[in-house]
Structure 1
């Protein structure tokens, strides 16, 4: 069901990415690179006490208020109580709404979160299985200017077997302009 929802959402967003005569300029397109730091919540808080990540995004502005793009990176969850570190590699589309040229923005990433080093015990087979990942959602609210974005976020991957890997934190990204 989660995969069906993801496919439907991406198809619904496809007209946004299919615009004609879009010229890439330093004023409407850039690469965002940055860091995130968060506190695990929910299921992840049982196995980790801190999450640290790298964030990379390619963004295109349709107008001064609406930006879309692709997002990826890596979030490492530091294991506690003898649990090994584990992580998430998201592959997502994102949408941002900028209220003014410099100031408040709202955004959301939607895609698939690939889990690393997350296993579970399958009671039906009696074996330890790898959990590949699931629907990835990352809503954000923050401040932006021409060069920087500073934001608060809630990152959640709805993985198989009712496992939710999530954290709440802050992030900062720097905008690298395309020439």
Structure 2
């Protein structure tokens, strides 16, 4: 698994280091995103949880007006069905987004590791989170499919909606 992350990292970030341009962080190209998500568990997760709510935290840098990269984290709480207790996932991921216009449709995806909480014999696994949504200067509204390919053949999947607010640097 470590080799897979290393290869993905080299392939994904090698164009960044190959550039000769200087990166200047400004309020126009970099900001934090903070918001909430809500979803319905599917797959293995629907048998043990009824719904989920969470916090979405991101830091983003725009290379140009259409393409951004960053880091994503947060917490998603899955409300367990009897007799299962609530459990959660804490993602640590990189993300990329493509914005078709300054306001309107975007496509994005997170890729990283999802740390599971309050589950016995399962610490986490590969985390993926593709998204499609609408954005403007201040808000992002999106639909997502989140999957953590966890240990012991347990896939923690959910379909949901999210909203984040852009917090600009001053």
How far does residue 164 in structure 1 lie from its aligned partner after superposition? 0.3
CA distance in 2, matches of 1:3, 1:169: 29
TM-score by length of 1: 0.90
CA distance in 2, matches of 1:3, 1:111: 11
RMSD of aligned Cα (Å): 1.1
Instruction: Determine the structure 2 residue equivalent to 1:126.
Output: none
Q: Does 1:168 align with 2:164?
A: no
CA distance in 1, matches of 2:14, 2:68: 14
Where in structure 1 do 4 or more consecutive aligned residues deviate above 6 Å?
A: none
| 1:36-91 deviation line (CA, Å, top 9, x unaligned) | 00000011111101010100000000000000000000000001122100000000
| 1:23-43 deviation line (CA, Å, top 9, x unaligned) | 000000000000000000011
How far does residue 3 in structure 1 lie from its aligned partner after superposition? 4.0
Instruction: Determine the structure 2 residue equivalent to 1:87.
Output: 88
CA distance in 2, matches of 1:17, 1:167: 32
Unaligned runs of 5+ in 1: 120-129
TM-score by length of 2: 0.95
CA distance in 2, matches of 1:70, 1:76: 20
Unaligned runs of 5+ in 2: none
Instruction: Determine the structure 2 residue equivalent to 1:115.
Output: 116
